[in-house]
Homo-oligomer: A and B are copies of this chain.
Amino acid sequence: MAELTRLSLNQITTNRLNLREAIEACQRHEIPAIGVWRNKIEEFGLKESAKILRESGLKVSSLCRGGFFSAPAREERQNLIADNLKAIDEATEIGTDVLVLVCGGLNSCSIADARKMIADGIAEIAPYAKQNNIKLGIEPLHPMFAADRSIICSLGEANNLAEKFDETVGVIADVFHLWFDAKIYQEIERAGKNILGFHVSDWQVPLPDILLGRSMMGDGVIELEKLRSAVESAGYYGLIEVEIFNQQIWDTESDEILDLMKTRFLETC
């Protein structure tokens, strides 16, 4: 079973807490790490956010998120690149070594063009990431987000992309996005040392929502332990982020959620 030393709270799970509150909640519950969102950093500013994270002693498993490379106009694409370079700076500042990439949907482009813009975008930011010792984690999303969030929607595609680059570019395996894929175990094995993060939640039936459809581990059908074992066999023994977008969880008192999260993490992952 997974150990609590590997647990990381992805901030979206406690979306109504600001960064300081989320850090304090982790400390109260002895959760050793946190996955940070850029919009949460903005609330305090980068310097202050970096300071409170440093002082907390928490590990920072990742920064969410860069990406969204696809756009019809060159100028818009250049702005998106600039924002990704800024995200790399932020990752450095807050003390993580992984920037999660949600690569982007179609955004009025053809599927083939969007895929090419994504590959080109990663190629454009990878040297700066490498120079700053930041790794770029391509997170394939569930195909129900292919149109509007990430046309990279299988681990196979993410592996294809990551393999174009050196060790600066890897993949993030989030069980919610990948659990049903008939090739998931072979693609996890193929990803190997390119795995930069492992995210857990669950797929409840019926699904409560599209964007806010993720559930607490144990409340759904995902074969969590089998997937966790697979990423370990592939070589990933790093932090495991719990990343849950769910209105009901957001509406519940955070201490209650974190208690449940720890219990379920130990029972199911």
Residues of A within 8 A of B (CB): 105-106, 110-111, 115, 142-144, 146-148, 151, 153-154, 156-157, 160, 179-182, 203, 205-207, 210, 220-221, 223
Residue of B whose beta carbon sits closest to that of A148: B205
Partner of A203, one of B147, B157, B220, B221: B147
Contact assessment for A180 and B221 in the assembled complex, using a CB-CB cutoff below 8 Å: no
Main secondary structure of the interface of A (DSSP, over half): loop
Enumerate chain B residues within 8 angstroms of A210, measured Cβ to Cβ. Answer: 144, 206-207, 210
Known: A106-B221, A153-B180. 15 other contacts (CB 8 A): A105-B205, A111-B179, A111-B223, A115-B182, A143-B143, A143-B180, A146-B179, A147-B180, A147-B203, A147-B221, A148-B205, A151-B180, A153-B182, A154-B181, A207-B210
Counted per complex, copies of this chain come to: 2
5 pairs, A vs B, C-beta closer than 8 Å: A111-B180, A151-B180, A154-B181, A160-B182, A206-B210
Q: Using Cβ atoms and an 8 Å threshold, which residues of chain B touch A160?
A: 182
Say whether A156 contacts B143, CB under 8 Å: no
Q: Of B106, B148, B207, which one neighbours A144 at CB under 8 angstroms?
A: B207
Q: Given that A154-B182, A210-B210, A221-B106 are contacting pairs, would A205 and B144 also be in contact in the complex, using a CB cutoff of 8 Å?
A: no
Chain B contacts of A181 at CB under 8 A? 143, 154
- How distant is the Cα of A105 from the Cα of B153 in the complex, in angstroms? 21
Closest residue of chain B to A146 (Cβ to Cβ) is: B180
Decide if B147 touches A205 in the complex (CB within 8 Å). yes
Please give the distance in Å from A47's CB to the nearest CB on chain B.
36
Contacting pair A110 B223 (CB below 8 A): yes
3 tightest CB-CB pairs across the interface, nearest first? A146-B180, A144-B144, A147-B205
How distant is the Cα of A180 from the Cα of B145 in the complex, in angstroms? 10
Nearest CB on B from A188, distance (A) = 14
Chain B residue numbers with a CB within 8 Å of A115 are 182
Nearest-Cβ distance from residue A53 to partner chain B, whole angstroms: 34
Instruction: Name A109's closest neighbour in chain B (CB-CB).
Output: B221
Q: Which residue of B lies closest to A112 (CB)?
A: B223
Can you name the residue of chain B whose Cβ is closest to the Cβ of A156? B182
